[in-house]
């Protein structure tokens, strides 16, 4: 009780605060998302995400070198294909855009860990994460047939040199299907980072501009989770763990920190938080208007993810964070 206890004693000096700090943000915590498009010399900045670009493979390689130079250990690749079709050919074709970008990055920067998003929404004309029944206008993706395409996609990504497979479509059984596909192709050492607890969120809006992956009708609520549910996240991660997931992801991050905490408590796997596009764009908009101190606000947010139990953070702020941590 006061006056015996005065918590302010340990806050009285910057060095003292440093000594008793419970959490730390380091460059090693980050995975930086990149978007590959066909062409050469292409760098299209996306209106709704200032500082984020669609990049052709040559530019992705430049970017990968910069990211590695900043000390960030990993990128995650998304792709915008030349064309879209119902079989999502661009996702699993050996000459797909993500496969090409992966090969090029691994050749130029072999020590940069390349994670790849394994989903179909960027590659289907309707923008849903798998097969739809003919005539379906609601977006109720057919689960089991979609698993076959995801398997094929993961194997071709692994063939291209991907270090981590990150399936994001929230199909039931997708971790198990991909694990068996990878194992059958002798990729038993390639880990799976499952988007285990991924919510149907409005925070994905700007991402869909960059990835050109907005559903053309319906929405993703028949496969992504209901924001009202917390316990269900635990059920999802238990299934993914049983199916062989190596890492778990919670997405979005900021409005779902309770879920990050619960997932960390409930599992012994590394937990990643995806600080998604809408979270990024809101901060950017405020910062560009001079309404907030961008560096302080972003660093506080990143620290909050660590405090919530995240081991890894996927963030569009990653390069800025790396620079700030270096004092640049
Ligand atoms: C879809 C996918 C989404 C994101 C990554 N992969 C969401 C969606 O469109 O449903 C969102 C990432 C972000 O908002 O930054 N498989
Ligand atoms: Zn998808």
Ligand nearest to the CA of 91: 2
Tens digits of residue pLDDT in 251-281: 999 999 999 999 999 999 999 999 999 999 9
Return the bridge partners of 160, or none: none
Q: What is the average per-residue pLDDT within 102-128?
A: 98
Q: Catalytic residues, which ones?
A: 198, 251
Q: What is the token pair recorded at 121?
A: 């929404």
Rounded Cα distance, 115 and 157, in Å: 9
Tens digits of residue pLDDT in 61-108: 999 999 999 999 999 999 999 999 999 999 999 999 999 999 999 999
Give CA angle at 288 (315, 36), nearest 5°.
40
Question: What's 46's domain CATH number?
Answer: 3.20.20.70
Length of the chain: 328
From the CB of 121, is ligand 1 less than 6 Å away? yes
From the CB of 72, is ligand 1 less than 6 Å away? no
User: In whole angstroms, what separates CA 72 from the centre of its chain?
Assistant: 15
**Is 309 part of any domain?**
yes
Tens digits of residue pLDDT in 181-228: 999 999 999 999 999 999 999 999 999 999 999 999 999 999 999 999
**Is 12 part of any domain?**
no
Which atom of ligand 1 is the closest one to the Cα of 205?
A: 14
Domain count across the chain: 1
Ligand nearest to the CA of 252: 1
Instruction: Of 27-41, 63-77, 126-140, 171-185, give the lowest mean pLDDT range.
Output: 126-140
Full-model pTM: 0.97
Measured in Å, residue 177 CA sits from the centre of ligand 1 at 21
Domain that holds residue 288: 23-325
Measured in Å, residue 15 CA sits from the centre of ligand 2 at 46
Q: What is the token pair recorded at 171?
A: 């199909």
Measured in Å, residue 208 CA sits from the centre of ligand 1 at 7
What proportions of the chain, in percent to the nearest 5, are helix, strand and coil?
45, 20, 40
**Is 8 part of any domain?**
no
**Is 7 part of any domain?**
no
**Is 235 part of any domain?**
yes
**Is 120 part of any domain?**
yes
Ligand nearest to the CA of 166: 1
From the CB of 204, is ligand 1 less than 6 Å away? yes
**Is 109 part of any domain?**
yes
């Amino acid at each position: 009780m006061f006056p015996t206890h005065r918590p302010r004693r340990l806050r009285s000096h910057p060095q003292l605060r440093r000594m008793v700090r419970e959490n730390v943000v380091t460059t090693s915590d980050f995975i930086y998302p990149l978007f590959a498009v066909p062409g050469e010399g292409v760098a299209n900045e996306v209106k709704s995400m200032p500082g984020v670009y669609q990049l052709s493979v040559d530019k992705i390689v430049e970017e990968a070198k910069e990211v590695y130079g900043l000390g960030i250990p990993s990128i995650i690749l998304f792709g915008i294909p030349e064309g879209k079709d119902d079989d999502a050919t661009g996702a699993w074709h050996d000459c797909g855009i993500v496969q090409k970008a992966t090969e090029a990055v691994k050749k130029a920067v072999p020590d940069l860990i390349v994670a790849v998003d394994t989903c179909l929404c960027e590659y289907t004309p309707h923008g849903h994460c798998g097969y739809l029944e003919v005539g379906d206008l609601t977006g109720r993706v057919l689960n089991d047939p979609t698993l076959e395409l995801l398997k094929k996609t993961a194997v071709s990504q692994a063939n291209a040199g991907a270090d981590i497979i990150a399936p994001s479509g929230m199909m039931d059984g997708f971790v198990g299907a991909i694990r068996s596909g990878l194992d059958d192709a002798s990729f038993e050492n390639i880990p799976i980072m499952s988007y285990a607890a991924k919510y149907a969120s409005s925070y994905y809006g700007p991402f869909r501009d960059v990835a050109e992956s907005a559903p053309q009708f319906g929405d993703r609520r028949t496969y992504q989770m209901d924001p009202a549910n917390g316990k269900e996240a635990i059920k999802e991660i238990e299934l993914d763990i049983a199916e062989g997931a190596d890492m778990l992801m919670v997405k979005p991050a900021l409005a779902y920190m309770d879920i990050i905490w619960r997932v960390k408590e409930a599992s012994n796997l590394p937990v990643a938080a995806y600080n998604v596009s809408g979270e990024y764009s809101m901060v950017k908009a405020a910062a560009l208007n001079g309404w907030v101190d961008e560096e302080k606000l972003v660093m506080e947010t990143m620290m909050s993810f660590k405090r919530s139990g995240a081991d890894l953070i996927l963030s569009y702020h990653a390069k800025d964070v790396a620079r700030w941590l270096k004092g640049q």
